[in-house]
Amino acid sequence: LVDQVDPATLEQFRLSTAVTNQDAAIRDYAQDGRDEHLVQYRAAVQREAESAARIRRLLSGVEGGEDVYRLLEKATADSHVWRAAFADQIAAGPGGQGIDAARSREARRLLNQARGDMTPLQVGITELHDRAAASLRSRASIALWSTVAALLMVVVAALLLAVLFRRTVLTPVSSLTGRVRAVSQGDFDAPLDVPGPAEIYELAVIIDAMRERIIRQWRSSEDKTRLLNEQTEELRRSNAELEQFAYVASHDLQEPLRKVASFCQMIERRYGDQLDERGRKYIAFAVDGAKRMQALINDLLSFSRVGRLNEPEESVDLAAVARRAVDNLGALVEETGAEVELRDLPSVPGDRTQLTQLFQNLIGNAIKFRREGVPPRVVIDARRDGDEWVFACADNGIGVEPRYADRIFLIFQRLHPRDEYTGTGIGLALCKKIVEFHGGRIWLDTGDRGDAPGTTFRWTLPVRPHITDDGDDT
């Protein structure tokens, strides 16, 4: 109606106006012979053709448009007859000659016939408009009543569903809730046989089985308490054996190693000139193996002592701890020309000795795994994130591939040959154990560093106290 019929109505008026303008322009040209009237005549002919074509295009596919097509064809045909018999002949000759009376009357007759065709055309388009409007009103009414009917059906269905839901779900659930509440208050003999859908019945059966299990567990609580006491005593005994092993490892196991290393070195000094190159190499292997075994035992002892020996403090100044760790690494720092930057570090609750070991291991690794010909640079900083501090140790060393991010924290795991980088493979595992004992976590930052080389380790420590002397959270 809006995009086709109404624009066609407007084009019909333009068509009628174009025919009238043709007659006026051609008669003016016949009287005074001015070319501008001839231009106006031809423009009016063009507008008539365009309006007729637009009406055909607009009404294409519209129901009832065929009748309008026939009326349009008759109107344009009569207009063409008028132009052929009168207007085009005058336009072809010189203007200003006037028009004789007989010829003018015949032209008026033909023009009136063409104009008379415009009225049926207008009536046909109007009827088409009315039919389209009536169809639109009918469909709007149908859509309205259909919507109302659908809403009523939805309301009725919702009411029926509410009633059904209440009878089949809410009432049985309410009954089950009351009985479960009675059980929770100590009435373990309250029955839980609730009628209702299969799902509600199944839930009642499950809760009833839980009630039976609680009764059995309650009756056997004394046995469990006795078993727990036995397990606690066994744990105490195991801890005592572990302490004894640590003592033996720290004294009895290291003493033979020291003797082996000392006597091998004495043999090298006293009889070195009597040994060939291979003999001296064998002695060097024995000394190196003894020293590595001693270092391994010391690292294992440090690993086993985490959380067992020292008393945690309520507040440890990590800035002082980091400086102490750097002082412990003074010889390595001086030898490599390393630069260690310690930014603002907070105070946290924890074990001062173990936290010193944490910083010392991370800074020592950063310096040890340096690039050839590049002075090591290590930056330690921290930022607060909610209830924990997030620390970072960044260096400019050789870096670690992301695929080894989890492997490097396993004990005895090494990524490089022993003759290339020294160590026992316990350092990062010890760092992980210390951080976790203090209630935090540690990881390798595998984020994109751009073109910057090196490695960044991050770890967290809680702001509030986390550890106690028995290892429980506070």
Helical (H) or strand (E) element with 456: strand 456-462
Nearest partner of 435 among 400, 389, 399, judged by Cα = 389
Q: Same domain for 297 and 343?
A: no
Domain count, the chain: 3
What's the CA gap between 54 and 125, in Å, rounded? 14
Q: Same domain for 357 and 381?
A: yes
Of the residues 283, 305, 327, the one at which a domain ends: 305
| 389 backbone φψ class: left, alpha, beta (φ>0; ψ -120 to 50) | beta
In a domain, 284, yes or no: yes
Q: What is the pLDDT of residue 342?
A: 92
Q: What is the pLDDT of residue 340?
A: 92
What's the CA gap between 41 and 86, in Å, rounded? 13
What's the CA gap between 391 and 435, in Å, rounded? 11
Residue 72 · residue 52 · CB < 8 Å: yes
In a domain, 178, yes or no: no
Beta-carbon contacts of 25 under 8 Å, excluding residues fewer than 6 positions away, are: 37, 38, 40, 41, 44
51, exposed or middle or buried, with CB in 10 Å at 0-12, 13-18, 19+? buried
Nearest partner of 19 among 39, 53, 43, 37, judged by Cα = 43
Tokens standing for residue 61: 């596919």
Q: Same domain for 50 and 131?
A: yes
Nearest partner of 227 among 239, 217, 214, 241, judged by Cα = 217
Give the bridge partners for 385, in sequence order: 388
Q: Same domain for 58 and 124?
A: yes
Q: What is the pLDDT of residue 468?
A: 44
CATH of the domain at 360: 3.30.565.10
Strands, E assignment, 289-376: 313-317, 339-342, 347-350
* Phi/psi at 33 (5° precision): 70, 15
Residue 167 · residue 196 · CB < 8 Å: no
Helix (H, G, I), strand (E, B) or coil at 418: coil
Q: Same domain for 445 and 397?
A: yes
What's the CA gap between 455 and 400, in Å, rounded? 6
pTM: 0.43
Rg (CA), the chain: 52
354, exposed or middle or buried, with CB in 10 Å at 0-12, 13-18, 19+? buried
Q: What is the pLDDT of residue 191?
A: 64
How many other CB atoms are there within 10 angstroms of residue 308's CB atom? Answer: 13
Residue 453 · residue 397 · CB < 8 Å: yes
Beta-carbon contacts of 237 under 8 Å, excluding residues fewer than 6 positions away, are: none
Tokens standing for residue 173: 């659930």
What's the CA gap between 130 and 255, in Å, rounded? 115
Tokens standing for residue 60: 């294409």
In a domain, 323, yes or no: yes
Strands, E assignment, 354-455: 377-385, 388-395, 442-444
In a domain, 469, yes or no: yes
Q: Is the dihedral of CA 30, 33, 37, 43 positive or negative?
A: positive
What's the CA gap between 397 and 309, in Å, rounded? 34
Q: Same domain for 334 and 423?
A: yes
Q: Same domain for 437 and 300?
A: no
What's the CA gap between 433 and 398, in Å, rounded? 25
What's the CA gap between 182 and 176, in Å, rounded? 10
How many DSSP H helices and E strands does the chain contain? 14, 7
Nearest partner of 118 among 5, 233, 2, 20, judged by Cα = 20
Beta-carbon contacts of 171 under 8 Å, excluding residues fewer than 6 positions away, are: 196
Q: What is the pLDDT of residue 188?
A: 63
Per DSSP, helices labelled H in 380-442 are 427-437
* Domain interval for residue 64: 5-145
Output the tens digit of pLDDT for each of the chain's 474 residues.
788 888 888 888 888 898 888 888 888 888 888 888 888 888 988 998 998 888 888 888 787 778 888 888 888 888 888 888 888 888 887 877 778 778 888 888 888 888 888 888 888 788 788 888 888 888 888 988 988 888 888 888 888 887 777 776 667 777 767 767 776 666 666 666 666 666 776 777 777 777 777 777 766 766 677 778 888 788 777 766 666 666 566 555 666 767 676 777 787 777 777 777 777 777 776 776 666 565 556 655 655 555 555 567 888 999 999 999 999 888 888 988 999 999 999 999 988 888 998 999 899 888 888 888 888 999 999 999 988 999 999 998 888 878 777 777 876 566 555 555 555 667 788 889 889 988 899 998 877 665 677 889 999 999 876 554 444 444
Q: Same domain for 270 and 315?
A: no
Q: Same domain for 129 and 56?
A: yes
**DSSP letter string, 70-93:** HHHHHHHHHHHHHIIIIIHHHHHS
Tokens 């106290």 label which residue?
Answer: 465
Q: Same domain for 323 and 471?
A: yes
Q: Same domain for 294 and 331?
A: no
Q: Same domain for 420 and 460?
A: yes
